[in-house]
Amino acid sequence: MEITHEGAFLLVERERFVARFSADPTEDLEQLQNQDFFVTVKEGATYYATLMTLGAIEAVLRQWAETGEAASGRYFFTTDLVITPSPGITAMIEAIDGLVCEGEISNACQVIPDPELEVPQQEWLA
């Protein structure tokens, strides 16, 4: 898998999408367990996704049990979360590929609004 740079982001291009993420390229990307992505579907919308392994979620819950966050680690939630069975950028890109190919990306993740499009003003704001 080819990973290129685009500004502050690392970029992975596939046939149906482009994934952008910020990670230290000197790290072992195949050990990533928690990574945020921007996914732009070719000729389509851009989505935001967080991909995590179960191990990463367990680590967060253990940390929160010590810090007192989230009722001392009694719950975990995040929007736009996709759970992968294995760590690493390859597993994460494969998960994104599956979401895009199966048409599930819009169910799993929210669209990031295009700032170029004019947003209609709500009556209550006028």
The pLDDT of 79-92, averaged and rounded, is 95
The per-residue pLDDT of the chain, averaged, comes to 90
> What proportion of the chain, given as a percentage, has pLDDT over 90?
79
**Angstrom distance (rounded) from CA 41 to CA 39:** 6
Q: Which two tokens stand for residue 47?
A: 């989505």
The pLDDT of 10-34, averaged and rounded, is 93
* pLDDT for 124: 47
Question: Per the confidence metrics, is the pTM higher than 0.75?
Answer: yes
Q: Is the pLDDT score of 7 beyond 90?
A: no
H or E element, residue 59: helix 54-67
